[in-house]
Amino acid sequence: MKKALKIFGFVVLTLVILLAAAPYIFESQLKDLLRKTINDNVNAKVEFSDINLSMFRSFPQATLVIDDLSVVNNAPFAGDTLAKSKEVVLEMSIKELFKGSSEPKKIDELKLNDAFINIKIDSLGRANYDIAKVDSTATQTPADTASAFSLDLKHYEINDSRVKYVDEKGKIALDVLHLNHEGTGDFSLDTSELDTYSEAMVSFDFDGVNYLNKHNVVLDAVFQMDLENMRYTFLENEAKINQLPLTFDGFVQVNENNQEMDISFKTPSSDFKNFLAVIPETYAKNIENVDTSGDFVVNGRIFGTVDDTYIPKLDIKISSDNASFKYPDLPKSVQDINLAMELMNDTGLVEDTYLNIGNATFRIEQDKFAINGKVSNLTENMLVNMELKGTVNLANLSQAYPLELEQDLNGILNADIRTSFDMNSIEKEQYQNVNSNGTATITNFSYRSPEIPNEVKISKANMYFNQGNVKIPELSLTTGRTDLEASGTLQNLMGFLFTDQQLKGEFQAKSNTFRVNDFMIAKTEEVTQKTEEGTTKTVSKTTGEEAIKIPSFLDIVLNFNANTILYDNLELKNAKGVLVIRDETARLENISTSIFNGSIGLNGLVSTKNETPTFEMDLDLNSLDIASSFNGLEMMQNLAPIATALKGKIQSTLKLSGNLNDDLTPQMASLAGNALAELLTAEIDPEKAKLLAELDNKLNFVNFNDIDLSKLKTKLTFNNGQVEIAPFNFDVKGINVEVSGSHGFDMNMNYNLSLDVPAKYLGSQIGNTLSQLSGNDLQNMTVALPVGIKGNFQNPQINLNMQQAVNNLTQQIVAKQKGKLQEKGENALGNLIGGMINKGNNTTTDSTKTATDSTRTIPQTKRDSINKTNQEQVQNAAKNILGGILKNNKKKTDTTGNN
């Protein structure tokens, strides 16, 4: 007995060792086999990060795990991912591992975890899943063509995966999210049953129309599989779309060139809760507690042949008769619900699909609404024939149905509209082919949202439909401090509602008060939140900041007239002109308004298309009050800070461009352009500007009360925060002043002033001295005095360039006396200088001697010395004169008798 136990233990130990060692023995072989199978059969780039073999994970089966498997297409879908999976799990009998490398290995179970299947069919009908290699030159026997792996499946699973199917040729888009699917059967038999369970979140679009949007779909079905004839028949099944139950009967037959199908489905009961169950679960919570009456029935059949020409024929009917529902937590109910809808296709040709809405009505309290119509030719040039008639109190909608709205709706909508059109005419804006007529009115409408600062109220809006146009003879709107009365025409309401066209129209508008900030929109950002069910969703959340945005969907021409426009801290009066809103840009044409006791005319544009708003503007400023405009406009303060000390009127033309803040005020550092300004009338109060006060103290001989700036013109250019001033001149009671230079928006400056000071302003003492020096004709001589100004406007640094002024005066005196010195000689010049310097000296010069005599008796070296001395004396005299100018008593009375 002990010997037998030892033998048994040895066998068990040997088996355990073999099972533990097997992965190391077979892994390399399986990797090579997998790569060879892929390369021999697939025309695509297939990669995996690792492959692992385990004997214990699903003992007695061997488990092969392929990590990070991906299949990437070659041309014509080069670079597209056809499939990828985080993990592929294959289970097979252990004996399969001991087969030769040329023998096929049977797989019993297959699992795909966290997979993405991306199927595409392009407009030419080419499929990205057609990646099998075809060798037309090969002459292989059936045994040779056997795959290295073969399926002998008993069970398969797809867990937490996604399948995306896009057929550009058929205009079909299917997106299946969070797919969990499993099937159990025996694929080794020609005929067997396959027991399946599937659940997913499904979105489905056909020809640009969305029919399912993340609807939860569950299918619990048993199929009979006839693998020899490729025929699959529904046996026992139940499906749910959201919470709507459906049962299926029928079959699908896969042939070589087409498919045949005949599938019927219906609701297992007629309870009206079935209708609420069709609505996405987010909007139909807790329907089990809803009190309903009446019925809701879905009956459908999809049958026929499917190939490149034909689709299945359709006969789907949806009906409800005199139904109602009431949510327990809401005060109102929806009554008199009737539905009679048919989705039909009698020929199998896709263009012959149509939808009939025979009768769709509902009532909330006394308000009734009805829709009737037909939509045909769904996949080609869709034809719409529709009637809408009735009244809806918008406030009652959320009181009868649990709508998740970010804002409250209020107001009464009355409609009696008939319309008939084809989509080609709408897309091509051929509105003469649109036949619409009727009226719609909305009264006492109000709209609140956390994204806008004030409630929007429309007391009344009338609409008259005529072909493709909608006339709006009356629209009354208020929000915040803004009131607006408008009338006009919308040219393409149908195009806006049914396609992606911008809303086009032209309106006449008038307003007593229009406040720009009433139309600011709160900035939002996309954030991810978790729901109560544990799933995630993306929502918009306000950031706490506000901005004025020009709507992207508008293409409107607005002729406006406003008594008062409030913009930032400005109040514009009697504004009128044309506003064209298009492509997130507002163009202003021939705008005129009164402000600062004058008027402004402007043309330009404002664009919020990019993240940073921009503007371009041409302005004509006519007779504006200087003090008011420069105190009220930051831009004017930056262009000419010194104007704060001016009183009077200004006229200017400005050409501006730059960036804007979110409230559409200019970003000063970004401004570029030029200006031509003219002072119509102006007085200076130097005490109001530090720079002028400092100049007033430095230039004692200038009286700022005498400055005449009337008709002064100057040109400014600005860019990158710098303002360049073109040189200009003005007169201060006979003193010509030239100004040039620049300053920055940071108030740092670099200016140059040049003052031409006449001798008659130098006072009697200096005037007499100058007369003795140079003769009476030099009394009208002017002194050029340069002044440099740096620093900033609040702390100016003023530099009087005395040396240059002395040099200028010296050169003038020397030039004036040059001729006389040549005639009179050096002695005459010496006598003149000596007489000036030694006033009252008893020494005199004999004036009877001629210059010729003097020059004959004085050697050349002596004459040069005398000239040098005389020039130094002239320069010293000039310094004394200028010193007198600047040291004179402030604003000294002119004693020369010249005014």
User: What pLDDT sits at residue 839?
Assistant: 43
205 alpha-carbon distance from chain centroid: 27
User: Is 70 exceeded by the pLDDT of residue 158?
Assistant: yes
Strand partners, 729: 738
User: What pLDDT sits at residue 285?
Assistant: 57
SS3 content of the chain, % helix, strand, coil (to 5): 25, 50, 25
Is the Cβ–Cβ distance between 413 and 389 less than 8 Å?
no
Residues shown for the chain? 899
- For 853, the domain range is 779-887
Is residue 338 very low, low, confident or very high in pLDDT (cuts 50, 70, 90)?
A: very high
User: What pLDDT sits at residue 279?
Assistant: 66
User: Is 80 exceeded by the pLDDT of residue 517?
Assistant: no
Which has more pLDDT, 884 or 729?
A: 729
Which has more pLDDT, 248 or 544?
A: 248
Q: Give me the half-sphere count of Cα atoms (radius 13 Å) on the Cβ side of residue 55.
A: 17
**Mean of pLDDT values over 666-677:** 84
Rounded to 10°, the helix 802-837/860-887 angle is 120
**Mean of pLDDT values over 604-620:** 86
User: Is 90 exceeded by the pLDDT of residue 301?
Assistant: yes
CA distance 94 to 106: 11
Residues in Cβ contact with 260 at an 8 Å cutoff, skipping those fewer than 6 apart: 252, 253, 304, 305, 306
278 alpha-carbon distance from chain centroid: 36
pLDDT, tens digit (0-9, with 9 covering 90-100), for 470-496:
888 988 888 888 898 989 988 877 777
DSSP character at residue 428: T
User: Is 50 exceeded by the pLDDT of residue 439?
Assistant: yes
User: What pLDDT sits at residue 895?
Assistant: 38
**Mean of pLDDT values over 525-543:** 58
What mean pLDDT, rounded, does the chain reach?
A: 76
End-to-end CA distance of the chain: give it in Å, rounded: 146
User: Is 60 exceeded by the pLDDT of residue 850?
Assistant: no
**Can you read off the two tokens belonging to residue 459?**
């007391």
Worst-scoring range by mean pLDDT, 317-321, 622-626, 703-707, 740-744?
703-707
CA distance 867 to 860: 11
Which has more pLDDT, 59 or 563?
A: 563
SS3 860: helix
User: What pLDDT sits at residue 362?
Assistant: 92
pLDDT, tens digit (0-9, with 9 covering 90-100), for 177-193:
999 999 888 877 888 88
Residues in Cβ contact with 420 at an 8 Å cutoff, skipping those fewer than 6 apart: 383, 384, 385, 386, 434, 435, 436
pLDDT, tens digit (0-9, with 9 covering 90-100), for 264-279:
988 888 778 777 766 6
User: Is 80 exceeded by the pLDDT of residue 25?
Assistant: no
Q: What's the chain's Rg over C-alpha atoms?
A: 47
Domain-located, residue 237? no
Pairing of strands 735-744, 209-226: unpaired
DSSP codes, 162-215: EEEEEETTTTEEEEEEEEEEEEE--TTSSEEEEEEEEEEEEEEEETTEEEEEEE
Which has more pLDDT, 579 or 825?
A: 579
User: Is 50 exceeded by the pLDDT of residue 444?
Assistant: yes
Nearest C-alpha neighbor of 338 from the set 352, 312, 358, 309: 358
Worst-scoring range by mean pLDDT, 239-243, 463-467, 627-631?
627-631
Domain-located, residue 59? yes
User: Is 70 exceeded by the pLDDT of residue 858?
Assistant: no
Is the Cβ–Cβ distance between 708 and 731 less than 8 Å?
yes
CA distance 475 to 507: 10
Which has more pLDDT, 668 or 33?
A: 668
CA distance 503 to 581: 10
Residues in Cβ contact with 625 at an 8 Å cutoff, skipping those fewer than 6 apart: 596, 597, 598, 648, 649
User: What pLDDT sits at residue 765?
Assistant: 41
Domain-located, residue 118? yes
Nearest C-alpha neighbor of 638 from the set 650, 630, 646: 630
Q: Report the percent of the chain where pLDDT is more than 70.
A: 70
Type and span of the H or E element at 571 = strand 570-582
Domain-located, residue 137? no
Domain-located, residue 367? no
pLDDT, tens digit (0-9, with 9 covering 90-100), for 685-709:
666 666 777 776 777 666 666 676 7
Is residue 465 very low, low, confident or very high in pLDDT (cuts 50, 70, 90)?
A: confident
Is the Cβ–Cβ distance between 674 and 718 less than 8 Å?
yes
User: What pLDDT sits at residue 159?
Assistant: 92
Highest mean pLDDT among 47-61, 72-86, 494-508, 721-735: 72-86
Show the beta-strand stretches assigned E in 794-866: 795-800
User: Is 70 exceeded by the pLDDT of residue 223?
Assistant: yes
SS3 472: strand
Worst-scoring range by mean pLDDT, 16-25, 76-85, 657-666?
16-25
Domain-located, residue 62? yes
Is residue 368 very low, low, confident or very high in pLDDT (cuts 50, 70, 90)?
A: very high
**Mean of pLDDT values over 647-666:** 83
**Mean of pLDDT values over 227-236:** 86
User: Is 90 exceeded by the pLDDT of residue 308?
Assistant: no
- C-alpha triplet 63, 64, 69: angle, nearest 5°: 145
User: Is 90 exceeded by the pLDDT of residue 315?
Assistant: yes
pLDDT, tens digit (0-9, with 9 covering 90-100), for 60-77:
677 888 888 888 888 888
Nearest C-alpha neighbor of 370 from the set 304, 329, 414: 414
CA distance 127 to 129: 5
**Mean of pLDDT values over 194-210:** 82
**Mean of pLDDT values over 720-740:** 81
- What is the number of other CB atoms lying within 10 angstroms of the CB of residue 625? 17
User: What pLDDT sits at residue 101?
Assistant: 55
Residue type at position 185 = G
Is residue 143 very low, low, confident or very high in pLDDT (cuts 50, 70, 90)?
A: very low
- What is the number of other CB atoms lying within 10 angstroms of the CB of residue 760? 19
Nearest C-alpha neighbor of 280 from the set 247, 244, 249: 244
HEC sequence for 726-787: EEEEEEECCEEEEEEEEEECCCEEEEEEEEEEEHHHCCHHHHHHHHHHHCHHHHHCEEEEEE
Is the Cβ–Cβ distance between 43 and 72 less than 8 Å?
no
Domain-located, residue 514? no
Domain-located, residue 549? no
The number of folded domains in the chain is 2
User: Is 50 exceeded by the pLDDT of residue 282?
Assistant: yes
Which has more pLDDT, 633 or 55?
A: 633
Give the global pTM.
0.58
DSSP codes, 498-553: HSSPPEEEEEEEEEEEEEGGGG-EEEEEEEEEE-TTS-EEEEEEEEEEEE----TT
